[in-house]
Amino acid sequence: MPVFGPTKRTELVHNLKRLGFAGPYSGGKHQFMYRGNVTVVLPNPHQSDIGRDLLARILRHAGISRADWERL
């Protein structure tokens, strides 16, 4: 059950795959994942975790609720 908070990029990719997203694929400056007609742009890998605010924006864009994220 992932906590809604700072998370590593690899954990984000893993959990998006569990929710049915395909990828990540290379494209332009950022990688992306998609499910149906929804495309989610992934942040570039850095040494720090993805913060709560950015995670919330990514999940909102992907159509994933906070409850769905924490239920994984």
CATH number at residue 53: 3.30.920.30
pLDDT in tens, 2-39: 778 899 999 999 999 999 999 999 988 999 999 999 99
In a domain, 40, yes or no: yes
CB 35, CB 53: distance < 8 Å = no
Establish if 35 belongs to a structural domain: yes
pLDDT digits 0-9 by tens, 32-70: 999 999 999 999 888 889 999 999 999 999 999 999 999
| Residue 60 lies in domain | 9-71
* Count of other CB atoms within 10 angstroms of residue 28: 7
Q: Note whether residue 4 is domain-resident.
A: no
The count of domains in the chain is 1
Residue 51 is assigned to a structural domain of this protein: yes
Domain-embedded: residue 2: no
Inside any domain, residue 48: yes
Domain assignment present for residue 14? The answer is: yes
